[in-house]
């Protein structure tokens, strides 16, 4: 492999959401030569979140504003952030990682922190792909304003579904939360907010089985009762799907230990089963996925990388193979 010294780093951080930006900030403070690669604007899922009310120190802050503050803080300590899409992370025979991107770049480093997050899980029902962008959405903040005055449905019962349903009521005339069970999985405070919102109506024990519409877009849902199996329809002007999240773990070539959901399993230093590969944030197996846990993971990972690199250098000086 041709080795361009300009593309050699101490650390490569994949993703610039809260975890990636925090890792970049700590890497800068640790005087590491680090590169952060992000496919879009820095901030990750913060840019798809309207209001943040559970990040300590900020009683209420817009998602884009927190993203901006985190980016500025990381850059203050010298963070180098490039816009590109990582396609593969591979550990080469010499022990260094080769990180290749969609723009044909290959960056090399002895350590990588993967903070690539994930993508929304699709239901895979008829009409979902056909009406994507024409009534089917996975981001209320991104698309909510396009549905002013409409009746909307949100599919799901977790925090994301309930929070996004509440957000959509500022645009929609009514929002149905369609859930396959008879109780929500969302946190109590979010449930109480939804129950108190006159624009939100819960549709219990219903599974979305098909999305139908016209050439203008989706206009109704076909539902199946999870108890009786009876079929019904629900007229809506759009449907927002929040049924899960798939970690972007497939970027890594080679087997790294993961849980049943595909999330990386790490040790207390955030290192995966591949030495030198660390994981932080939504891509890591853990109880909850919050901004606070993401930056906590990243803090540990970045400091652990410093110690890992020091150990590698000491072993090299002693002539011990890594």
pLDDT in tens, the chain (322 residues): 445 667 999 999 999 999 999 999 999 999 999 999 999 999 998 988 888 888 999 999 999 999 999 999 999 999 999 999 999 999 999 999 999 999 999 999 999 999 998 888 999 999 999 999 899 999 898 889 999 999 999 999 999 899 999 999 999 999 999 999 999 999 999 999 999 999 999 999 999 999 999 999 999 999 999 999 999 999 999 999 999 888 999 999 988 999 988 999 999 999 999 999 999 999 999 988 889 999 999 999 999 999 999 999 998 888 765 5
CATH architecture of 5-120+245-317: 3-Layer(bba) Sandwich (3.50)
| Cα distances (Å, whole numbers) of residue 105 to 84, 102, 159, 187 | 9, 7, 38, 43
Can you say how many angstroms the Cα of residue 48 is from the centroid of all Cα atoms in its chain?
10
Domain 136-241 indexed as CATH 3.60.21.10: no
Return the closest-CA partner of residue 28 out of 4, 9, 3, 55: 9
237 sits in the region (left: phi over 0; alpha: psi -120 to 50; else beta) called alpha
Assess contact for 240 and 164: CB atoms under 8 A. Answer: yes
pLDDT recorded at residue 322? 52
pLDDT recorded at residue 277? 98
| pTM exceeds 0.85, yes or no | no
Sign of the dihedral through C-alpha 46, 47, 49, 50: positive
The residues carrying an active-site annotation are 139, 142-143
Task: Classify 231 as helix, strand or coil.
Answer: strand
Domain boundaries, the chain: 5-120+245-317, 136-241
- Tokens of residue 108, six digits: 């090399």
């Amino acid at each position: 492999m041709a080795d361009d010294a300009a593309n050699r780093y101490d650390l490569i951080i994949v993703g610039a959401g809260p975890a990636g930006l925090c890792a970049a900030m700590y890497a800068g403070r640790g005087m590491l030569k680090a590169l952060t690669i992000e496919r879009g604007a820095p901030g990750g899922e913060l840019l798809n979140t309207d209001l943040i009310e559970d990040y300590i120190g900020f009683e209420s802050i817009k998602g884009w504003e927190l993203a901006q503050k985190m980016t500025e803080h990381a850059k203050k300590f010298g963070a180098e952030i490039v816009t590109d899409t990582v396609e593969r992370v591979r550990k080469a025979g010499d022990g260094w990682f080769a990180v290749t991107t969609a723009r044909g770049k290959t960056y090399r480093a002895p350590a990588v922190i993967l903070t690539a997050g994930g993508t929304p899980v699709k239901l895979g029902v008829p009409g979902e792909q056909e009406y994507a962008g024409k009534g089917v959405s996975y981001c209320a903040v991104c698309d909510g304003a396009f549905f002013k005055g409409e009746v909307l449905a949100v599919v799901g019962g977790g925090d994301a579904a309930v929070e996004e349903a509440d957000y959509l009521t500022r645009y929609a005339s009514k929002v149905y939360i369609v859930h396959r069970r008879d109780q929500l999985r969302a946190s109590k405070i979010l449930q109480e907010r939804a129950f108190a919102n006159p624009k939100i109506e819960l549709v219990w024990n219903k599974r979305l089985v098909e999305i139908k519409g016209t050439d203008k877009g989706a206009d109704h849902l076909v539902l199946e009762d999870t108890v009786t199996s009876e079929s019904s329809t629900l007229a809506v002007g759009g449907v927002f799907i929040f049924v899960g999240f798939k970690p972007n773990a497939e970027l890594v070539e080679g087997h790294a230990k993961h849980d049943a959901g595909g999330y990386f399993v790490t040790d207390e230093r955030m290192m995966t089963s591949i030495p030198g590969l660390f994981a932080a944030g939504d891509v890591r197996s853990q109880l909850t996925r919050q901004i606070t846990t993401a930056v906590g993971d990243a803090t540990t990972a970045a400091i652990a990388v410093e110690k890992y690199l020091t150990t590698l250098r000491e072993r090299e000086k002693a002539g011990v193979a890594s």
